[in-house]
């Protein structure tokens, strides 16, 4: 039974382009048949807490010498982590809605990433234990301006690089990045001239996501 884990992180409930596009993917996925299931996690309405215990970055077998205090707060944090990791490990395909905020990841998505990157469990530590290796992560990243090659913002994207490092290099997943820029053109009169380019980018992204959802897993 092919499973999709869809995670949205936009701070907007309505009018979010990333939420719209992850929805396009999820619909196309469901459209393949009843066996194609979707688990949805919305970090705006259901944020995960920040990681509170550094020891949770390591699987128990590979942890550095400092033993965590087994107090109530540690047990709660470990339970949250187990839930998030189990959800990720049960997914055949991971779909992330990742808007750019202040040149970087939504802090909610970073908190999720801090929970699910566990050395010796989801990434390799003393031996290569990478259960997610070979699975696909689709990153839908949306930004108000343009950040492509040759633009002033070319080297100011701190959304895609950490996701490629953790999901791709550390977890061994195949990372597909779908990017749309210029969303600010829809609400800013001075940028109105960019609206056709924005519409074209959004349409191309929707078409690519539909094709990906129809071919993965």
Ligand X SMILES: Cc1cc2nc3c(=O)[nH]c(=O)nc-3n(C[C@H](O)[C@H](O)[C@H](O)COP(=O)(O)O)c2cc1C
CB 163, CB 117: distance < 8 Å: no
CA distance to 99, 146, 156, per residue, from 150 (Å) = 21, 10, 12
Q: For residue 107, say whether it is annotated as part of any ligand binding site.
A: no
Which lies closer to ligand X via its Cβ, residue 66 or residue 102? 102
Q: For residue 185, say whether it is annotated as part of any ligand binding site.
A: no
**Cα separation of 84 and 115, whole Å?**
7
First to last CA, the chain: 10
Q: How far is the CB of 123 from ligand X (least distance, A)?
A: 28
3 phi, psi to nearest 5 deg: -115, 135
Which lies closer to ligand X via its Cβ, residue 129 or residue 145? 145
Q: How far is the CB of 90 from ligand X (least distance, A)?
A: 26
Q: How far is the CB of 16 from ligand X (least distance, A)?
A: 4
Residue from 112, 107, 115 nearest 57 by CA: 115
Q: For residue 73, say whether it is annotated as part of any ligand binding site.
A: no
Q: For residue 17, say whether it is annotated as part of any ligand binding site.
A: yes
Q: How far is the CB of 162 from ligand X (least distance, A)?
A: 15
Q: How far is the CB of 191 from ligand X (least distance, A)?
A: 11
Strand partners, 95: 6, 138
Which lies closer to ligand X via its Cβ, residue 80 or residue 186? 186
Q: Which residues bind ligand X (CB under 6 A)?
A: 10-12, 16-19, 99-103, 142-145, 183
Which lies closer to ligand X via its Cβ, residue 80 or residue 145? 145
Q: Which two tokens stand for residue 139?
A: 């990153």
The Cα angle at residue 50 between residues 174 and 20, in degrees rounded to 5: 50
Which lies closer to ligand X via its Cβ, residue 14 or residue 34? 14
Binding residues: 10, 16-18
Binding residues for FMN are: 10, 16-18
């Amino acid at each position: 039974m092919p499973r999709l884990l869809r995670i949205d992180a936009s701070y907007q409930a309505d009018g979010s382009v990333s939420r719209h596009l992850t929805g396009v993917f999820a619909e196309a996925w469901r459209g393949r048949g009843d066996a194609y299931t979707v688990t949805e996690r919305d970090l705006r309405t259901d944020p995960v807490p920040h990681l509170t215990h550094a020891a949770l970055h390591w699987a128990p077998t590979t942890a550095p010498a400092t033993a965590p205090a087994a107090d109530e707060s540690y047990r709660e944090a470990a339970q949250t982590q187990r839930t998030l990791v189990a959800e990720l490990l049960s997914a055949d395909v991971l779909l992330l809605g990742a808007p750019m905020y202040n040149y970087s990841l939504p802090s909610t998505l970073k908190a999720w990433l801090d929970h699910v990157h566990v050395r010796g469990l989801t990434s390799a530590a003393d031996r290569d234990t990478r259960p997610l290796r070979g699975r696909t992560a689709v990153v839908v990243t949306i930004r108000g301006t343009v950040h492509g090659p040759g633009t002033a913002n070319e080297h100011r994207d701190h959304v895609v690089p950490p996701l490629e490092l953790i999901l791709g290099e550390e977890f061994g997943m195949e990372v597909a990045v779908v990017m749309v820029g210029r969303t600010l053109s829809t609400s800013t009169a001075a940028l109105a001239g960019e609206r056709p380019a924005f519409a074209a980018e959004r349409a191309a992204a929707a078409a690519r996501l539909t094709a990906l959802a129809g071919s993965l897993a």
